[in-house]
């Protein structure tokens, strides 16, 4: 398998940037094969779709996207993709066409059917976070706390994101700008997914152009 080499970020360029964990040593990342890509132009059954009574929550494929919706204050809901992965990059485009600004939505790696795993999430208020959901904990743990970034397009803007899960290293890039990284070794492998949660008012989010690619660390 051939891997391209890319340095995710130069530390000197990030001094003083919000969301960067000072103790994290950024690895040199090698990018390998594309494992799968989803553009939702037709039914792609490897993704979970469902509709709860009274439209309290749903995920479905329509108008060329995987669309999720949930009423307010019910926690996160997710749609998982069936294959299991370990070290991967996840790219996706995300848009919130309806809903208030105090919401969270994004992608998951190393997830399970109960929603445990790592979350790379945005809000339409221009914020982001890296979260970890673990069994027995009602709210996800903030590995990188919710905070603002000028890289995140607000309101109904379309955001292109990339999440990397490589061994214990996690990184988050939005619209070509590296915004956060963290280290955590809780989860080794799992499914990828998309996730959203609403505060107050119902939320609708469109997920598209999901690309999954192998990654590995170059050197020691």
Question: Can you list the domains of the chain with their CATH numbers?
Answer: 34-212 (2.60.120.560)
**Range from 1-5, 90-94, 107-111 carrying the lowest mean pLDDT:** 1-5
CA distance 107 to 217: 22
Using one digit for the tens of pLDDT, what is the confidence trace for 142-154? 999 999 999 999 9
pTM for the structure as a whole: 0.88
Question: What pLDDT was estimated at residue 2?
Answer: 30
Question: What pLDDT was estimated at residue 9?
Answer: 28
Alpha helix ranges (H) inside the chain? 11-14
**Half-sphere CA count of 35, side-chain side, radius 13 A:** 20
pLDDT band at 43 (very low <50, low <70, confident <90, very high): low
Closest to 203 measured CA to CA, from 76, 63, 54: 76
More confident call, 1 vs 23: 23
Q: Average pLDDT for residues 44-67, to the nearest whole number?
A: 91
pLDDT at 76 over 80: yes
Closest to 78 measured CA to CA, from 44, 101, 107, 99: 107
The percent of residues in the chain predicted with pLDDT above 90, rounded, is 75
Question: What pLDDT was estimated at residue 44?
Answer: 64
Residues 120/130, Cβ–Cβ less than 8 Å:
yes
Q: Average pLDDT for residues 158-170, to the nearest whole number?
A: 98
Give CA torsion, residues 103, 154, 26, 185, to 10 deg: 10
Question: What pLDDT was estimated at residue 138?
Answer: 85
Q: Average pLDDT for residues 91-116, to the nearest whole number?
A: 95
């Amino acid at each position: 398998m051939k891997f391209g080499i890319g340095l995710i970020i130069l530390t000197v360029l990030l001094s003083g940037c919000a969301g960067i964990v000072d103790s994290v040593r950024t690895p040199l990342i090698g990018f390998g094969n594309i494992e799968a890509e989803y553009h939702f132009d037709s039914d792609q059954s490897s993704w979970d779709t469902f509709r709860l009574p009274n439209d309290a929550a749903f995920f479905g494929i329509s108008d060329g996207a995987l669309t999720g919706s949930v009423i307010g204050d019910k926690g996160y809901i997710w749609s998982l993709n069936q294959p299991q992965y370990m070290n991967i990059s996840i790219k996706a485009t995300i848009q919130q066409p309806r809903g208030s600004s105090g919401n969270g939505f994004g992608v998951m790696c190393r997830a399970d059917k109960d929603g445990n795993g790592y979350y790379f999430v945005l809000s339409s208020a221009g914020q982001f976070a890296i979260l970890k959901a673990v069994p027995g904990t009602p709210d996800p743990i903030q590995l990188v706390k919710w905070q603002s970034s000028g890289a995140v397009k607000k309101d109904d803007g379309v955001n292109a994101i990339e999440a990397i899960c490589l061994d214990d290293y996690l990184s988050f890039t939005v619209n070509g700008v590296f915004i956060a990284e963290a280290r955590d070794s809780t989860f080794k492998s799992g499914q990828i997914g998309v996730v959203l949660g609403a505060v107050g008012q119902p939320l609708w989010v469109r997920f598209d152009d999901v690309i999954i690619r192998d990654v590995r660390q170059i050197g020691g």
